[in-house]
């Protein structure tokens, strides 16, 4: 399936964006590794990386499962992200990663075929009416006792800067509208996930993580590039006015020079849905590989 058959990632697949995603991954690396451990992902497992993009977490998963394990990395972008991931896999000499180009709204796997499923900041870009059916399929993929680990924003509007800026609320709303797109995505889908996982018979464990970052730290590049690089694209799409952008970036420049500044990220809901070891899931039906 071509990536053109699915709704595009709203921020595009330019080299600059893929590099930004790499910075983002490094900033959240410690939290993400702890999340993978809570899910119980281990050596020898077969894992699925949903919406893997250029594959930063895919490589982490491949190292975690080791040569006797397997990672199935799935993304709709077969033109930039999957080829980039494949180059990284080849350069690292990994033989335990399988890449697939697919629309997550239709992607499926055989029943009870995997030991875990991972996804971060991917379900928010799907039409919300496709998320429930995907969760039901994920539950059927899991072996008894296996888990899915899904991390998504749960309160996007919480993003803030201290001292406060005049326009950050408008920036947050523009980012949310862009992420939702025209197809009904939900940038705060993290709030919905616990209920969806419970409905398909999984035991649910919750956690929430957020970032507080100061200028001059190694992590500051993440919000700085986010605002300077992505916000102009929101003007191009009509989600943000040029006047608001100019005023905000002027405010942001002042905050970047102020050592008292603190940037607070939107909180992320980390949800582990674990299949009971002995019980059958409701609505257990057949599944096909796509």
pLDDT tens-place string over residues 235-286: 988 999 999 999 999 999 999 999 999 999 999 999 999 999 976 555 554 4
pLDDT value for 285 = 47
Assess if residue 41 is contained within a domain: yes
Tell me whether residue 224 is in a domain.
Answer: yes
The CATH number of residue 216's host domain is 3.40.50.150
Rounded Cα distance between 70 and 89, Å, is 13
Q: Computed from CA positions of residues 16, 18, 19, 23, in that sequence, does the dihedral angle turn out positive or negative?
A: positive
| Rounded Cα gap, residues 203 and 235, in angstroms | 43
Q: Answer yes or no: is 112 within a domain.
A: yes
Number of domains in the chain: 1
**Averaged pLDDT, 189-210:** 97
Domain extent for 236: 3-274
Would you say residue 283 lies in a domain?
no
Q: Where are the beta strands (DSSP E) in the chain?
A: 46-50, 70-75, 97-101, 114-120, 142-153, 160-162, 203-209, 212-213, 262-264, 268-274
Residues β-bridged to residue 264: 160, 212
Residue 285 lies in a domain: no
pLDDT digits (tens, 9 = 90+) for 130-165: 999 999 999 999 999 999 999 999 999 899 999 999
Specify which residues 147 forms β-bridges with: 116, 274
Looking at 14-18, 168-172, 260-264, which range is the least confident one?
14-18
């Amino acid at each position: 399936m071509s990536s053109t058959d699915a709704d595009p990632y709203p921020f595009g697949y330019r080299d600059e964006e893929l590099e930004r995603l790499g910075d983002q991954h490094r900033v959240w690396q410690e939290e993400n590794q702890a999340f993978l451990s809570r899910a119980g992902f281990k050596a020898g497992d077969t894992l699925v990386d949903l919406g893997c993009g250029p594959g930063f977490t895919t490589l982490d998963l491949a190292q975690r499962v080791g040569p006797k394990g397997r990672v199935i990395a799935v993304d709709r972008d077969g033109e930039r992200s999957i080829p980039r991931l494949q180059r990284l896999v080849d350069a690292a000499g990994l033989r335990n990663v399988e890449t697939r180009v697919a629309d997550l709204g239709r992607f499926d796997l055989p029943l009870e075929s995997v030991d875990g499923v991972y996804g971060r900041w991917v379900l928010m870009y799907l039409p919300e009416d496709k998320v429930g059916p995907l969760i039901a399929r994920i539950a059927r993929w899991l072996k008894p006792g296996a888990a899915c680990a899904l991390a998504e924003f749960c309160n996007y509007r919480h993003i803030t800067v201290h001292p406060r800026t005049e326009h950050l609320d408008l920036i947050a709303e523009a980012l949310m509208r862009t992420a939702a797109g025209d197809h009904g995505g939900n940038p705060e889908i993290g709030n919905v996930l616990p209920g969806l996982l419970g409905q398909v018979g999984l035991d649910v464990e919750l956690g929430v993580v957020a970032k507080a970052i100061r200028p001059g730290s190694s992590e500051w590049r993440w919000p700085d590039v986010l605002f300077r690089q992505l916000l102009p694209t929101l003007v191009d799409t009509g989600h943000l006015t040029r006047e608001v952008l100019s005023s905000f970036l002027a405010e942001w420049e002042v905050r970047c020079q102020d050592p008292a500044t603190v940037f607070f990220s939107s909180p992320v809901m980390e949800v582990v849905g674990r299949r009971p070891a002995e019980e059958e899931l409701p609505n257990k039906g057949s599944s096909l590989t796509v």
